[in-house]
Amino acid sequence: MANDQNKVILGTGVSFHLWKSCLQAKLARRNVLGHVFHDIPGIRPLLAPYAKIAPDLDTGTNVKSPDEELAALEQWILGEIEAKNIITMRLSPSICPRNYDNMTAKQLYDTIASTRQQTAAAHYATALEALMSVTFNSTADEYIDQFLASYQSVNNAADAFSTPTAKVSEYHIGAGHAAALFVAGTKRVEWLNTWRDTRVFDSSNKYLPLEVLMSSLRSISGIFFFFL
């Protein structure tokens, strides 16, 4: 029950690889992993059984009785129902295909995997474009809030590309890059020219930490508006 309560739901900003790993674990516990994944070494693909109409007269090979064929088909269908239920219960409504009832469990997973990569790329591109467009055009606090929100959105979107072995997605905006973007967002504000020239770099000519830059910007902005 605890595992069901803590299941990973695939949605915007959720790592597909994390979701896939948790999904595989659940399918394995229910003995239906082979319904969805046919390429895992040691896991036998569970394909739909089809009854033979008659014995192979050329070889004399015996076939299963109709009852045995029906039992095998029934077992496969029950496994399909279980596997599809596990998948759909771990999807946000916006991701679940409308025609999933007409798909096998594997077809459902393959459809999600294919569209998810396209969706993840689109979300990331949108979030990155939004971050690049954030500029200082009102107050320091408003600029900082907008920048932080956009910065977090980009890295949340980047998590959808992360792999099980990577601690941080290669698409994440790092601290140094974020600091550079933060300063660049103020370039059209002329009264911050001195701040950009003298207050944003350390002794090694590298950008100061983002937290320091934000504090510094608040301070210089407060002084500027005090004397207006």
Q: What's the pLDDT at 1?
A: 43
Residues of the chain with pLDDT under 50: 1-2, 51-54, 57, 226
Q: What's the pLDDT at 226?
A: 46
Q: CA-CA distance, 18 to 156, in Å (whole number)?
A: 13
Q: What's the pLDDT at 79?
A: 97
User: Counting beta carbons within 10 angstroms of the beta carbon of residue 209, is it exposed (0 to 12), middle (13 to 18) or buried (19 or more)?
Assistant: middle
Q: What's the pLDDT at 53?
A: 46
46: left (phi over 0), alpha (psi -120 to 50) or beta: beta
Q: What's the pLDDT at 27?
A: 98
Q: CA-CA distance, 137 to 188, in Å (whole number)?
A: 9
Q: What's the pLDDT at 161?
A: 67
Report phi then psi at 29, rounded to 5: -65, -30
98: left (phi over 0), alpha (psi -120 to 50) or beta: alpha
Q: What's the pLDDT at 55?
A: 52
Q: What's the pLDDT at 167?
A: 58
